[in-house]
Amino acid sequence: MKDELHNLAPAPPDKSGELHEGKETGPYVGLFYFVAGQLYWEGVPTVRADTSGYVKIYDKEYSEYWNESILPLFPQLTKYDAYHFPRGRVVFSTQESIYRLQADMCILEDQGIIRKIILEMKLPELQVKRSWNIDCECAACKSKRISGKDYIDRAIGGQLYTSEEGRKLFFPWKSFWDSSHTGYIVPSAKEYARIRRGMSLWLRLGACRLTLHIL
């Protein structure tokens, strides 16, 4: 990932290890940013995390963490809001016994950053599942998504996908915190294609309405 794509400022001394709570050995759930070539994160050990549905989470918003922890390190970035830079979150699914690493696409595509997140948050690598989430999207990736042709595929991919066992799964009411208890198995390839076409049409119509509203 190139710093200039995200208007990154020069990095201060590395204090990333000071931003998480507690002294336990982990693994942790929490949220993170990638700013000026460095990973900054905050979280709690999974055993002390809050529970929402079937997911253990660190219940803090990006805006709160940005204002309390990131801006003091980067006072020159006050002109940017909490949604400008690459970011993500790690939650633990109690039903599946896996850690869901939800992040911006530019983070997911960088194996070095992913490895650093897994190591610093002390995550069991074999239990980590990575996924893109629009709530983690930085300004640069949003610009590319809106102008690119892969917007529909990425958006649909959050709700309609194929499991590791080859089953076609659909999560019509998927939420940010819990992607495990609202889905069902699609019975046939024909039905899978029908659902995908319908979602694609719905998303395209929604994008057109938003554009008209802005104009």
Domain ranges of the chain: 1-145, 149-215
ω into 27 cis (within 30 of 0): yes
Look at residues 53, 55, 34, 56 and name the one whose alpha carbon lies nearest to residue 45: 56
**Could you report the per-residue pLDDT of 44-68, keeping only the tens digit for each?**
999 999 988 889 999 899 999 999 9
Mean pLDDT estimate for the chain: 76
Sequence letter at residue 19: L
Q: For the residues 103-119, what does the mean pLDDT come to?
A: 92
Tokens of 55: 């997911």
Cβ atoms of 201 and 209 closer than 8 Å: no
- Three-class SS state of 5: helix
| Residue 215, pLDDT score | 33
pLDDT interval class at 178 (50, 70, 90): very low
| Residue 141, pLDDT score | 85
Most confident of 19-33, 63-77, 169-183, 197-211: 63-77
Q: For the residues 26-32, what does the mean pLDDT come to?
A: 93
Q: For the residues 15-43, what does the mean pLDDT come to?
A: 77
| Residue 40, pLDDT score | 96
| Residue 155, pLDDT score | 58
CA 17 to chain CA mean position, Å: 21
> Which of residues 62 and 3 earns the better pLDDT score?
62
